[in-house]
Amino acid sequence: MKFENSLSFAQEMDQKDPLKSYRDRFHFPTFTTNSVRYFTGNSLGLQPKSTREFINQELDDWAKWGVEGHFHGTNPWFKYHEFLTNAAAKIVGAKPIEVVITHSLTTNLHLLMVSFYQPKNGRTKILCEAKAFPSDLYALESQVRFHGLDPATELVAMNPRDGEHTLRDEDIVAKIAELGDSLALVMFGGVNYYTGQVLDMESITKAGHAVGAIVGFDLAHAAGNIPVQLNAWGVDFAAWCSYKYLNSSPGGVSGMFVHERHANRPELVRFAGWWGYDKSTRFLMEPGFKPMEGAEGWQLSNAPILGMAAHWASLELFDEVGMDQLREKSVVLTDYLLFLLDELTAKYGDKCTFEIITPREHKSRGAQLSILVHGNGKQIFDAISEKGVVADWREPNVIRVAPAPMYNSFADVYFLGKYLEEAILEN
């Protein structure tokens, strides 16, 4: 596509955008006196206007029914999580039996690793990325220690090659082959939170399985951002949070995926709770754990209904739009941002260079671009913030911006470029 650096071009793109009406279905922050340009949907997605109705429905039913709401409410709480499953499964390319919405992300990663990291007979190692989200690294380290092993030897954390910012898929595949039958688990972020890089999850899964390892992904930055086919790729397990691209309230509930090949394995070691117990006999409350089939068998607790309601509101929007349409817009929207950043670097390279550390190929990135600012990055970040841009600053000098295709416009992206240019000229 031929882009232009002008407001009229951006507005024309917005006019032609089949998703343009969705912008109005979200609340945009009002804390800044300028028009807000929100680019942190990768950190906390905006609030859908329908969220309030979804939550109010449950508050009303709680007021009206008390405990009876579990069975007599408009959306009975007893099976509330089931209302969310189909829409969530579509987002990650899974069958309904493979998905459950429950708990929080790090909790779910632990619960899944309890079942799927079983070091024994010399197969003890975990392959992960050195620059994983800190919570994931802590979870991995503590899982290794939980088995009485030493993370220093068992956790193999990959770094990019010298002078590069992102991992190469072929290096991950080669490392998996090299570790061979010492490898118990491969665990990566499907989209890296810092660089925005999308990994080739299908090839990594295939390589892991070829050496007999289990393969899991953290999809915190992938769910609702890029197309994912967990079932077809044969991924063993995955988890994601719902509050980033999925706009489901701060700290909102998490999604969990367990491939159907593991759906009927009651012998799998797991940490159990009553909500994972066979539904038909759960309320007999007998001792002896009988897990439900599929991902639901990993639930511990009854669902936090208000958070679930917020997630349902957002899932409804994703279901309407579908990941294909969303991705189609996302690719062009982020390409437009890339075009503007390249233009600024070409124009002002002697003062300030924007080095994009996110891979440029479409298949290796989602909505987010991570910009390494060579020059006075922090002043530039502060200057655009003052103009109403909400972006994310990571020390030492990376600005992360993610135009979310559900609600960001081409005009938003145009103004980001314009404010960056003004910031360069002023600083």
Ligand X SMILES: *Cc1c(COP(=O)(O)O)cnc(C)c1O
Determine, following the binding rule CB under 6 A, whether residue 220 of this chain makes contact with ligand X: yes
Give the closest residue to 236 by CA, choosing from 285, 172, 164, 186.
Answer: 186
Asked if 47 interacts with ligand X (CB under 6 A), we say: no
Question: Distance between CA 240 and CA 189 in Å, rounded?
Answer: 10
Tokens of 74: 């408009």
Closest approach of ligand X to the CB of residue 254, in Å? 6
| Residue 194 makes contact with ligand X by CB under 6 A | no
Is there binding between residue 80 and ligand X (CB under 6 A)? Answer: no
Residue closer to ligand X, measured from CB, 61 or 136: 136
Rounded CA separation 181/117 (Å)? 14
**Quick check: 106 binds ligand X (CB under 6 A)?**
yes
In terms of Cα–Cα distance, which of 95, 148, 90, 87 is closest to 119? 148
CB-side neighbour CA atoms (13 Å) of 407? 26
Give yes or no for residue 193 binding ligand X (CB under 6 A).
yes
Tell me how far apart the alpha carbons of residues 354 and 377 are, in angstroms, rounded to a whole number.
Answer: 9
Stretch that binds ligand X, among 11-19, 131-139, 147-155, 159-167 (CB under 6 A): 131-139
Which of 45, 69, 73, 189 touches ligand X by CB under 6 A?
A: 189
Q: What are the residues whose beta carbons fall under 8 Å from the beta carbon of 131, sequence distance 6 or more?
A: 159, 192, 194, 195
Q: Which is closer to ligand X, CB of 123 or CB of 165?
A: 165
CA angle 116, 117, 120 (to 5 degrees): 125
Let me know: does 313 contact 62? Beta carbons within 8 Å. Answer: no
The footprint of ligand X on this chain (CB under 6 A) covers a number of residues equal to 12
Q: Which of 154, 218, 236, 412 binds ligand X (CB under 6 A)?
A: 218
Binding part of the chain for ligand X, among 4-12, 20-28, 128-136, 142-150 by CB under 6 A, reads 128-136
Q: 159 near 190, Cβ under 8 Å?
A: no
Q: How many helices (H) and strands (E) does the chain have?
A: 14, 15
Number of neighbours of residue 348 by Cβ within 10 angstroms: 16
Does position 225 interact with ligand X (CB under 6 A)? The reply is: no
Stretch that binds ligand X, among 104-112, 151-159, 359-367, 409-417 (CB under 6 A): 104-112
By CB under 6 A, is residue 104 in contact with ligand X? yes
The answer to whether residue 237 forms part of the interface with ligand X (CB under 6 A) is no
Which part of the chain contacts ligand X (CB under 6 A), choosing from 58-66, 217-225, 311-319, 364-372?
217-225
Per the CB < 8 A criterion, the answer to whether 413 and 11 are in contact is no
Phi, psi of 289, deg, nearest 5: -85, 125
Judged by CB under 6 A, which stretch of 180-188, 218-226, 322-330, 376-384 contacts ligand X?
218-226
> Is the distance from CB of 105 to CB of 239 less than 8 angstroms?
yes
Q: Does 39 bind ligand X (CB under 6 A)?
A: no
Q: Which is nearer to ligand X, 103 or 329 (CB)?
A: 103
Separation CA 272–CA 151 (nearest Å): 26
| CA-closest candidate to residue 113, choices 86, 93, 141 | 141
**Residue of 3, 77, 117, 133 interacting with ligand X (CB under 6 A):** 133
CB of 242 to ligand X, least distance (A): 9
Check binding of 116 to ligand X (CB under 6 A). no
Provide the minimum distance between the beta carbon of 427 and ligand X in the complex, in angstroms, as a whole number.
Answer: 31
Question: Could you tell me the smallest distance in angstroms from the CB atom of residue 152 to ligand X?
Answer: 22
Alpha-carbon distances, residue 357 vs 246, 254, 292 (angstroms): 24, 28, 43
Pattern of binders to ligand X over 134-173, x per CB under 6 A?
A: -xx-------------------------------------
Residues that bind ligand X (CB under 6 A): 104-106, 133, 135-136, 189, 193, 218, 220-221, 241
